Amino acid sequence: MSSASESTAPQDEGKRIVFEDPHGAAANMQEAEVTRVRSLRGAWRWTLVVATAATILLCINQQFSLRFFVGYTQLNTEYFYLLIALMLPFTFLIFPGTPRAPLDRIPWYDLLCFVVTFAAALLLMLNVRKAAEAGWEFGGAPNSVTAAGLVMWVMLMEALRRTGGWSLLLSVLPFTVYPLFAESSWLGPFRGTQSTLEQATAYHVLSGESLGIPIQAFADTVIGFLVFGTALMMTGAGKFFINLAFALCGTFRGGAAKVCIFASGLLGMMSGSIISNVLTAGTMTIPVMKKSGFRASYAGAIEACASTGAVLAPPVMGATAFVIAQFLNVSYADVAIAAIIPAALYYVGLFMQVDSYAARHGLKGIPRAELPRVMDTIKDGWYYVFVIALLIVMLLYFKRESHAPFYATALLLVLNQLFSKDTRWTVATIGKFLEVNGRTFVELVGILAGCGLLIGAFSMTGVVSSLANDLLRIAGDNPFLLLGMCALTSLILGLGLTTTACYIFLAILVAPALEKLGLNKMAVHMFIFYWGMLSSITPPVAIASFAAAGIAGSPAMKTGWESMWVGSIIYFIPFFFVLNPALVLQGPSPYLAGLGLMALAAFGTLFICGGIQGYQPFVGDLRGAGALEWPIRVLLVIGGFVVATPGGGIMPLSQMQVTLLGLAILVPTVLLALLLVRRQTMVPDGLRVP
């Protein structure tokens, strides 16, 4: 989570809009929910700083094989438990147990949880090598190890409750204890191999399954990218990206909203955090949008939708993308490449929505005199281009995703110290940098380690393959019905779970059934990912929309419904790429086919957005169609959707047939709209019906 610091504000230079951000708005990244999060002070703050520094050093040691531990090579599980021991205990200090818990001091019971969690993690770390040698994860572990495992199980569930809320705990806890009752007849398709309490505990805390995918993703790649994202924001990248967006897009029709989309997209590509994106860019873009004529709720909705792209847009995506890479056993670079076209389509759709809205409501751009100059902006932050280029080359060319963020961070800090006077780091900045990262690490470990037990539970019972067959039988082997079931389930789970937790659930339970139908694995997992993260703009949760509403001063639920309307294209995109994996750059000739399908999808999106907003480019304001306005708008949306939909594969129609069908709907609709709108504009003003 993040917060907008007071420094994140527009500063007047004459009449120019210039974003100032000394040391970055992300410097206070964990303080957005001040009623829920406790700020550590004094010795506890420095303990967190030291533990964070040790976590980063452990990650560097592991990824670069530096052998800090001379003559001793860590097992992966030992490394994981060291990270858990360093970070998980702080969950109980930073996240109060109840809404009434004090924020100005740490209660004794939170201190007790801290000590107990640290001791259990340390004991398990010291025994995990013996466990691997003796096979203790399948039973036979000493009583002391079993007891420590039970304590860790309980502490993980409490950490999950504090970081993810009751909804996440109540979703995960039943599945973690489910192996104890797996042979019960009332479980139906969930019946599987049953375990004793000792066996389940040992498997949960000692096996590579429960500790594996989520924590391995965190330990191998997430740490490095979080460090890079924080360093980027604390060296003033927010100022650079937002000023660049204003300089390039500010004068266009509805320029303030297009600046918002461009700036939030650039920031999101680097941060991978939706809320920090809203509270960094939104504090600047939302007031300017309101000043330009956008109503408050719509301005908040645009910012929420633009910031949601943070977890979709490479090169730095959200933590779930790293978990996807672990699930599929591919490099993170493969996931980032697969996300390029869907992310581009999403932002193209947002631009089209905003352009049509601005045209319908007569909203102009910002005068050039009030905007920063392009050359001045580039002169102030040119070195960010080199840093991002290094990151992309390391990711996509050298395929070194675990090393790339560390190299990019090192280059960034060197260039910042040499060429920037305003954001040059001091000892105090380093302390703040470590604290910000520490709070992020703590929250992610609390969620990822707890959710990891889901994987262990289903692995223990062996129920996944039988459940996939049951789902296929229910859907009658109909891929469209199964995709619809998956989308609805993802949306419902996403309302109560974090994106990562929702993805893990469905990657275990639903993805195997979709894969058995012959659908591409990457497309299936991206489909689940997209639908799971829709909760950030979908009421009643809509956390991105609510954060933006707070800045805009608009009603939270109204902003949430507006966000669904503005970001509606994202509900279509997952179906596009699961129907043809070329849109996630998979399959034969993926680049050529992907670009062709992207062009068709963008063309169809133009009409979808025109129908949604009531202004069709090259036609005009559809209010001019009079009583036929809404039928025309509906037909534009339907025709645009058909044109954008890939043909072939599981579709009964070929690509040519699908495209011709879409054009058969669009061409007469557009001609009719054009005739009605032009005829309306030709009527003398005095004869028009008000």
Q: How many domains does the chain have?
A: 2
Beta bridge partners of 620: 616
| pTM score | 0.84
Higher pLDDT pick, 26 / 83: 83
Q: What is the pLDDT of residue 269?
A: 82
- What percentage of the chain has pLDDT greater than the value 70? 92
User: Which of 31-45, 284-298, 522-536 is predicted least confidently?
Assistant: 31-45
Is 618 among the domain residues?
A: yes
d(CA 375, CA 460): 60
What average pLDDT does this structure show over 27-55? 75
Cis peptide before 315 (omega within 30 of 0): yes
Residues in the chain: 690
Residue 659's CB is within 10 A of a number of other CB atoms, namely 20
Q: Does residue 113 lie in a domain region?
A: yes
Higher-scoring residue by pLDDT: 324, 71: 324
DSSP state letter for 25? G
pLDDT value at residue 54:
95
Query: pLDDT of 548-606, one tens digit each?
Result: 998 999 998 899 999 988 988 888 889 998 989 999 998 877 888 899 999 999 999 99
Three-state SS letters, 42-110: HHHHHHHHHHHHHHHHHHHHHHHCCCCCCCCCCCHHHHHHHHHHHHHHHHHHHCCCCCCCCCCCCCHHH
Q: Which residue from 520, 542, 532 is spatially nearest to 488, judged by alpha carbons?
A: 532
User: CA 617 to CA 666: how far, in whole Å?
Assistant: 13
pLDDT of residue 185: 77
Return the C-alpha torsion angle 248, 251, 257, 258, nearest 10: -40
Burial 453-474 (b: 16+ CB within 10 A, else e): bbbbbbbbbebbeebbeebbee
Looking at per-residue pLDDT, the higher value among 652 and 29 belongs to 652
Residue 629 vs residue 236, higher pLDDT: 629
Residue 2's pLDDT is 37
Neighbours of 153 (CB within 10 A): 22
Please say which residue of 170, 189, 206 terminates a domain: 206
Please give the Cα distance from 485 to 573 (Å, whole number).
16
CA distances from 442 to 39, 341, 432, 650 (A): 13, 32, 15, 43
Query: Is 89 inside a domain boundary?
Result: yes
Judge whether residue 681 has pLDDT over 70. no
Cα–Cα distance for residue pair 519/503, rounded to 1 Å? 17
Per-residue pLDDT at 15: 53
Query: Which of 266, 261, 275 is CA-nearest to residue 354?
Result: 261
* 160 lies in some domain: yes
Distance CA 532, CA 538 (A): 11
Residues 456, 177: Cα–Cα separation, whole Å: 11
How confident is residue 406, by pLDDT bands cut at 50, 70 and 90? very high
Q: What is the DSSP secondary structure assignment for residue 425, as one 8-state letter?
A: -
Please give the single-letter amino acid code of residue 37.
V
Angle between helices 543-552 and 556-566 (to 10 degrees): 120
- Whether the pLDDT of residue 465 is over 50: the answer is yes
Q: CA 341 → CA 92, 98, 487, 599, distances in Å?
A: 41, 43, 20, 10
Whether pLDDT at 405 is above 50: yes
DSSP secondary structure string, 324-379? HHHHHT--HHHHHHHTHHHHHHHHHHHHHHHHHHHHHHT-----GGGS--HHHHHH
Q: Does 443 score more than 70 pLDDT?
A: yes
> Which residues touch 440 (CB under 8 Å, ≥6 apart)?
29, 30, 226, 230
Q: Which domain does 673 fall in, by range?
A: 588-683
The first and second tokens of residue 248, run together, are 């390039």
In SS3 terms, 395-422 reads as HHHCCCCCCHHHHHHHHHHHHHHHHCCC
pLDDT, residue 16, reads: 63
**Mean pLDDT value across residues 157-179:** 89
In a domain, 546, yes or no: no
Please, which pLDDT band fits residue 496 given cuts at 50, 70 and 90? low
Which of 208-212, 358-362, 475-479: highest mean pLDDT? Answer: 358-362
Q: Is residue 648 part of a domain?
A: yes
Indicate whether 431 pLDDT > 90: yes
Can you read off the two tokens belonging to residue 119?
């001791």
C-alpha–C-alpha distance, residues 329 and 344, integer Å: 25
Tokens of 518: 């012959």
**What integer is the mean pLDDT of 91-113?**
92
Whole-number mean pLDDT of the chain?
A: 86
Q: Exposure of 172 by Cβ count < 10 A (0-12 exposed, 13-18 middle, 19+ buried)?
A: buried
| Angstrom distance (rounded) from CA 228 to CA 222 | 10
Among 167, 182, 206, give the residue marking a domain's end. 206
**Distances from the Cα of 411 to the Cαs of 414, 416, 418, 493, in angstroms?**
5, 8, 11, 40
More confident of the two residues 464 and 486 = 486
440, two tokens: 């992020």
- Alpha helices in 135-177, H assignment, sequence order: 143-164, 166-177
- d(CA 263, CA 576) in angstroms, rounded, equals 26
Which of 53 and 138 is assigned the larger pLDDT?
53
pLDDT 10s digits, 653-662: 899 999 999 9
- Considering the domain boundaries, does residue 54 fall inside one? yes
User: If residue 11 lies in a helix (H) or strand (E), which one and from where to where?
Assistant: strand 9-13
CA distance linking residue 4 with residue 280, whole number of Å: 6
Find the helix or strand (DSSP H, E) in which 233 lies: helix 223-234
Number of H helices, E strands in the chain: 31, 4
Q: Which of 152, 178, 206 is the last residue of a domain?
A: 206
Least confident piece of the model among 184-188, 342-346, 355-359, 391-395: 184-188
Q: Is 20 helix (H, G, I), strand (E, B) or coil?
A: strand
pLDDT tens string 374-401 = 888 888 888 898 999 999 999 888 888 8
In a domain, 346, yes or no: no
Please tell me the predicted confidence (pLDDT) of residue 72. 66
